[in-house]
């Protein structure tokens, strides 16, 4: 009989999911179970024509895709049942499965740029591999899908978008949510489109093979719509469709008809499938459940040694340029992407090299590996994530830090979770860098300091550069051991400054021996009137104030300026606070739920609760008027007033 192996595979998927629903009802697994009952052949058809090196990226309804691609039935059962031997170590559960080149996530549309980044890694490696991403018709409402389709087409990446169109999202009909033509969506991006049906196996396999071959041979994206039917509920039992409609769908279903029309052959196949499931399930039920899960401390207490700061006599943007050039030189799979980062090219002859002239001539030196992107902040961070997942090193520039809000989903739900969520030691060498801060009159949406919104994201390192520590030191340290995603905040003012200019007379500059060094400014005198703490651009105003305070007011301050701000190392601060109980925290951003708030909490948690604390920050939007902006943001004059209040009362 034709397609007998494929039918058996589809039956295995169906019976597995029926068993999962049974186990749920028995209380042997929890959470959510999104079954693909009725849609089994889409995963079977795609997997049939893939090569070992190809990637598959799936969604919340991915059990069938996983089984078709990996054959790892035991890993799936163990994962959904929360066992340590699960394919994601019992951490990911039903929606977050990983096995070799297979990844899934339940956030609608969010994995499409990740899959496209994997496609970029395939193209760079020239290994004839492709990346496949499954989406549902509900995902057609997500904007990031269209950002991604555009880039995949412009860059001619080998990515196959597979739309399983079952006509309903959770409980919302496609007729209520999708306007226009699905095929024209793909065609508008000049992407090859095919349409087929999961109940017509001959057409399904023929069309799938055709478009997989097209994507592979042409290294261009393709879009395959598979019309199919979801016979069960969205998750477990939440189905509000009519009984009449469900009866009609079941009558059309290929597997139901196959079983009815071939009782002997189907019984044989079902016996084999059910025996396989029961044997594997028996093994899995004996295995150990993941019963505890450690949460790392969100702060550190590591004693540091100090050494004198090595000053640098060139501009900050030149130092960052040198850092990026080194990353690109040392790794053929390193890529820098961002908006307007190329210099002269075939389309525009004049020199450019980034809005703040950081990338300069890198696009000329590393053709094809330094790329202008569309204005698609979410997609380019997702593509950077996928490239890193595929073995490359990704550096993504976001033109202004204010635009990071558009990337939050990719950081929070994808890049930061990958290392732990899939239960393995997965490296993700991703750097996202962006200018942050005010004092330049850029107005309400180009002058903010919004890094606090990213500080609490697990596994995301956040580093704030300042104008004293050479960015090359920081970038070298980050690139040397880049296993988790890193967000680097670059102060706009510091781009033009040299690290050896206008030192505060009478003060010494020292750095900690941490991998990412922090800065201490002091006179070396044990008796200190006030400790001032700030990071990034705040250091400029702090430096302007301490000389005046010492010379004119005879108030002696020490300064601590951390570089890594997602984890606070309280040990150096405790050392300084033994000399004074007066603490001033200076930030450009808002004070509510801020880095400064966290610092105070951590100090109290570590036993220092008798401090005299003041904070200086900005709790409104940035006005366009430069004069008003300078009046609003922390300044040396405001710092001086705050310190005098602390010390003199």
What is 310-496's CATH topology? Rossmann fold (3.40.50)
Task: State the Cα torsion 515-520-523-527 to the nearest 10°.
Answer: -110
User: pLDDT tens digits for 219-241?
Assistant: 999 999 999 998 787 776 678 88
Q: Could you tell me which residues are beta bridge partners of residue 456?
A: none
Contact present, 154 and 347 (Cβ < 8 Å): no
pTM of the model: 0.96
Mean pLDDT across the stretch 572-588?
94
The pLDDT of residue 403 is 97
DSSP conformation class of 126:
T
Question: Could you check whether 310-496 and 508-648 share the same CATH topology?
Answer: yes
The pLDDT of residue 298 is 67
Residues above pLDDT 70, as percent of the chain: 99
The pLDDT of residue 233 is 79
User: pLDDT tens digits for 357-395?
Assistant: 999 999 999 999 999 999 999 999 999 999 999 999 999
- The band of 481, judged by pLDDT with boundaries at 50, 70 and 90, is confident
The pLDDT of residue 31 is 81
Contact present, 613 and 581 (Cβ < 8 Å): no
Q: Which CATH number fits domain 508-648: 3.40.50.920, 3.30.70.1350, 2.30.30.240, 3.40.50.620?
A: 3.40.50.920
Q: Could you tell me which residues are beta bridge partners of residue 83?
A: 289
The pLDDT of residue 169 is 82
The pLDDT of residue 62 is 95
Name the residue with tokens 């000053």.
Answer: 311
Round the average pLDDT of the chain to a whole number and report it. Answer: 94
| Comparison of pLDDT for 535 and 606, the residue scoring more | 535
Contact present, 374 and 150 (Cβ < 8 Å): yes
- The band of 27, judged by pLDDT with boundaries at 50, 70 and 90, is confident
- In the CATH scheme, what is the code of domain 4-285? 3.40.50.970
Mean pLDDT across the stretch 506-524?
95
The pLDDT of residue 421 is 93
The residue count of the chain comes to 649
Mean pLDDT across the stretch 12-37?
90
User: pLDDT tens digits for 523-560?
Assistant: 988 899 999 999 999 999 999 999 999 999 999 999 99
Is the per-residue pLDDT at 295 higher than 80?
Answer: no
The pLDDT of residue 416 is 96
Give the dihedral sign, CA 423/425/430/435: positive
Domain edges within the chain? 4-285, 310-496, 508-648
d(CA 356, CA 351): 12
**CA atoms within a 13 Å half-sphere pointing along the CA-CB vector of 329:** 9
- How buried is 300 (Cβ within 10 angstroms: 0-12 exposed, 13-18 middle, 19+ buried)? middle
DSSP conformation class of 571:
H
**Residue from 141, 129, 108 nearest 50 by CA:** 129
183: region left, alpha or beta (phi > 0 left; psi from -120 to 50 alpha): alpha
Mean pLDDT across the stretch 252-268?
93
User: pLDDT tens digits for 161-191?
Assistant: 999 998 788 778 888 888 999 999 999 999 9
Name the residue with tokens 């999911």.
Answer: 17
User: pLDDT tens digits for 102-134?
Assistant: 999 999 999 999 999 999 999 999 999 999 999
The pLDDT of residue 223 is 98
* Cα angle, residue 1 at apex, residues 66 and 228 outer, rounded to 5°: 45
Mean pLDDT across the stretch 139-168?
96
């Amino acid at each position: 009989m034709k397609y007998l192996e494929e039918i058996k595979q589809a039956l295995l998927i169906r019976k597995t999911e029926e068993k999962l629903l049974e186990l749920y009802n028995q209380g042997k697994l929890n959470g959510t179970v999104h079954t693909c009952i009725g849609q089994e052949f889409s995963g079977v058809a795609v997997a049939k024509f893939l090569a070992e090196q190809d990637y598959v990226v799936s969604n919340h309804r991915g059990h069938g895709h996983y089984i078709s691609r990996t054959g790892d039935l035991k890993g799936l059962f163990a994962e959904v049942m929360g066992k340590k031997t699960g394919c994601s170590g019992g951490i990911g559960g039903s929606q977050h499965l990983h096995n070799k080149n297979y990844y899934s996530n339940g956030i609608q549309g969010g994995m499409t740029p990740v899959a496209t980044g994997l496609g970029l890694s395939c193209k760079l490696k020239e290994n004839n591999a492709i990346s496949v991403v499954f989406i549902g018709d509900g995902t057609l409402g997500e904007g990031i899908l269209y950002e991604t389709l555009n880039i995949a087409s412009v860059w001619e990446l080998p990515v196959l978008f597979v739309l399983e169109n079952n006509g309903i999202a959770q409980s919302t009909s496609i007729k209520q949510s999708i306007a226009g033509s699905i095929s024209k969506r793909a065609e508008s991006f000049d992407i090859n489109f095919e349409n087929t049906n999961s109940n017509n196996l001959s057409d399904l396999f023929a069309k799938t093979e055709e478009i997989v071959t097209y994507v592979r041979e042409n290294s261009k994206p393709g879009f395959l719509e598979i019309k199919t039917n979801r016979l069960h509920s969205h998750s477990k039992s939440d189905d509000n469709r009519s009984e009449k409609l469900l009866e009609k769908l079941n009558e059309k279903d290929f597997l139901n008809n196959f079983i009815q029309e071939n009782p002997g052959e189907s019984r044989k196949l079902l016996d084999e499938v059910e025996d396989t499931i029961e044997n594997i399930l028996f093994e899995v039920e004996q295995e150990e459940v993941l019963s505890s899960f450690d949460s790392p401390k969100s702060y550190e207490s590591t004693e540091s040694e100090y050494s004198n700061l090595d000053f640098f006599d060139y501009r900050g943007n030149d130092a960052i340029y040198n850092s990026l050039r080194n990353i690109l030189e040392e790794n053929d799979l390193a890529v820098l992407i961002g908006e307007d980062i190329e210099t002269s090219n075939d389309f525009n002859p004049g020199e450019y090299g980034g809005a703040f002239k950081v990338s300069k001539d890198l696009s000329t030196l590393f053709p094809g590996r330094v790329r202008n992107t569309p204005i698609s902040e979410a997609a380019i961070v997702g593509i950077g994530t996928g490239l890193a997942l595929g073995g490359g090193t990704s550096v993504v520039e976001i033109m202004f830090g204010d635009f990071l809000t558009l990337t939050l989903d990719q950081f929070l739900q994808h890049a930061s979770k990958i290392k732990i969520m899939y239960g393995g030691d997965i490296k993700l060498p991703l750097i996202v860098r962006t200018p942050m801060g005010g004092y330049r009159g850029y107005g309400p949406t180009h002058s903010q300091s919004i890094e606090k919104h990213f500080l609490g994201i697990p596994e995301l390192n956040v580093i704030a550069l300042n104008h004293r520590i050479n960015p090359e030191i920081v970038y070298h340290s980050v690139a040397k051991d880049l296993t988790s995603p890193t967000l680097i905040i670059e102060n706009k003012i510091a781009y033009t400054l040299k690290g050896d200019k206008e030192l505060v007379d009478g003060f010494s500059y020292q750095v900690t021996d941490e991998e990412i060094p922090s800065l201490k400014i002091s006179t070396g005198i044990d008796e200190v009137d006030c400790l001032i703490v700030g990071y990034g651009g705040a250091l400029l105003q702090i430096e302007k104030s301490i000389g005046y305070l010492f010379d004119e007011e005879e108030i002696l301050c020490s300064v601590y300026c951390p570089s890594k701000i997602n984890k606070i190392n309280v040990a150096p601060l405790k050392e300084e606070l033994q000399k004074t109980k007066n603490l001033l925290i200076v930030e450009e951003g808002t004070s509510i739920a801020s880095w400064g708030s966290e610092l105070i909490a951590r100090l109290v948690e570590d036993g220092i609760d008798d401090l005299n604390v003041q904070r200086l920050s900005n709790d409104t939007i940035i006005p366009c008027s430069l004069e008003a902006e300078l009046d609003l943001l922390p300044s040396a004059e405001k710092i001086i007033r705050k310190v005098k209040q602390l010390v003199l009362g």
